[in-house]
A and B are shown apart, each in its own frame.
Chain A
Amino acid sequence: MDGHEHRWFILISSVVPLLGAVAAVVLLWNSMVGPSDLVVFVVMYIIAGLGVSTGYHRLLAHRSFKTSRPLRIFFATAGAIAGQGPPLIWTAHHRRHHRVADKPGDPHSPYLDGPPGVRSALRGLWHAHLGWLFDRELSSDPVRYCPDIARDKDMRFISRYFIWFVLAGIALPALLGFALTWTLAGAATGALWGGLVRFFVANHMTYAVNSVGHYFGRRRFDTPDESRNVAWLALFSFGEAWHNNHHAFPRAASHGFRWYEVDISALVIRGLERIGLVWDVIRIDPERQERRAESLTRVGGGRYARAEAPIPLAERKTMAVGVADVE
């Protein structure tokens, strides 16, 4: 898709699910929601959520584990169904975010230049949440940030025909709704709950990691950014909300570092590893975590802390896995 189409996509995909959510509230009021709608919503929420978390984020953007071609296609497809953008664009923006997190050049930092105060803070949070997607000037070049993903024909295919995957994310719950109820009304409310409402809820969950996850929460590591661990977002973001852990060790397949830090995405990866479907899973042992925490505390963290932006993947001599914990 070209830039113009991408802007329209972002606009439509922000407004239509909002209207869908409003319609859903009206229907709910008149009790037009049945058990089939709930099932469809949950199924689609899990597909889209794992697609973004396990697929786009951990598999593609951070190469936290390896898997077979069919499973890679499956995860990227599920991620596309979430409707947050083509895998190439998503990955490029995200890797850039990690290079310069909360510093100039970060595509979605909530810390904008501006006078201190509540107004600036709210503007920043809005920008990090959704506003950044409307910036016409903003583009992260996939050739520079994710040549490894762009070399993958399947990922290029999904990026090229991305809109069809998003539409499948509405058709699929309609079919599911029909299969569960054998009525057209069931198909329609299925498309509403499993499609539009699900886009709305699931995507705002991801966006909340970008906004809230750099603003409110606890910091275990003094990373040179403002990333936070947000416990109340962890369950429904499939573990993405352990965002400070993630910025300390971007390539770790698990974002939850303690037994009580719920990370469904990590559980899925571990399960798939156990049955041999994924391998080379990147783990960080507790000792290394502790050493990192101590050394970061010595240097001091936050968005004003000095940090050298790692070299983009494209400019590295070797693209071997394990070069550095950057992307």
Chain B
Amino acid sequence: MITVEEIVSLVSRELRGTVPAGMTIDENTRLDDLGISSLQIAEIVFTLEDNHNVEFDPARAADARTLGDLIALGNDVVSAKAG
């Protein structure tokens, strides 16, 4: 399963440690608030796919607003694959 820790570590890698001051990153963090580009979001989404060897529904991935949305749609396909 995709965990919050995994996605947070991917986000930190993109941010290269420069997390906006006073910000804690968790499921409720909005992608817009992170100040990362669409290219970086693509990097995160498709790295998750590779790590778990699944394919997300790209339309839903494009509509994701928070990190929690990404985790949820990722885990949908991960559990579908396991089941």
List the B side residues contacting A143 at CB < 8 Å. Answer: 38, 41-42, 45, 58, 61-62
List the A side residues contacting B14 at CB < 8 Å. Answer: 2
Q: Is B36's beta carbon under 8 Å from chain A? A: yes
Stretch binding the partner chain, chosen from A134-142, A178-186, A220-228: A134-142
Stretch binding the partner chain, chosen from A34-42, A49-57, A152-160, A193-201: A152-160
Bound together, the chains give a CA A1 to CA B58 distance in angstroms of: 21
| Total residue contacts A-B, CB cutoff 8 A | 65
Bound together, the chains give a CA A150 to CA B14 distance in angstroms of: 16
Determine how close the nearest CB of chain A comes to the CB of B22; give it in whole angstroms.
19
Cβ of B38 and Cβ of A141 under 8 Å apart? yes
The tally of residues in B whose CB lies under 8 Å from a CB in A reads 20
Determine how close the nearest CB of chain B comes to the CB of A147; give it in whole angstroms.
4
Cβ of B39 and Cβ of A88 under 8 Å apart? yes
Residue in B39, B59, B62 whose CB lies within 8 Å of A1: B39
Bound together, the chains give a CA A153 to CA B43 distance in angstroms of: 9
Most buried by A among B35, B38, B41: B38
List the A side residues contacting B43 at CB < 8 Å. Answer: 156, 159-160
Bound together, the chains give a CA A151 to CA B61 distance in angstroms of: 13
Q: Is B37's beta carbon under 8 Å from chain A? A: yes
B residues 28-83 near A (Cβ < 8 Å) are 35-43, 45-47, 49-50, 55, 58-59, 61-62
* Chain A, interface SS category: helix
A residues 66-113 near B (Cβ < 8 Å) are 86, 88-89, 92
Bound together, the chains give a CA A157 to CA B3 distance in angstroms of: 24
Closest to B49 in A: A151
List the A side residues contacting B35 at CB < 8 Å. Answer: 2-3
Determine how close the nearest CB of chain A comes to the CB of B50; give it in whole angstroms.
7
Bound together, the chains give a CA A147 to CA B63 distance in angstroms of: 13
Bound together, the chains give a CA A141 to CA B50 distance in angstroms of: 19
Cβ of B37 and Cβ of A153 under 8 Å apart? no
Bound together, the chains give a CA A50 to CA B42 distance in angstroms of: 26
Closest to A316 in B: B59
Cβ of A139 and Cβ of B38 under 8 Å apart? yes
A interface list, Cβ under 8 A from B: 1-3, 6, 86, 88-89, 92, 139-144, 147, 150-151, 153, 156, 159-160, 312-315
With A86-B39, A314-B62, A315-B58 given, can you name 10 additional A-B contacts, CB distance below 8 Å? A1-B40, A2-B36, A3-B36, A6-B39, A143-B41, A144-B58, A144-B59, A150-B46, A151-B55, A156-B43
B interface list, Cβ under 8 A from A: 14, 35-43, 45-47, 49-50, 55, 58-59, 61-62
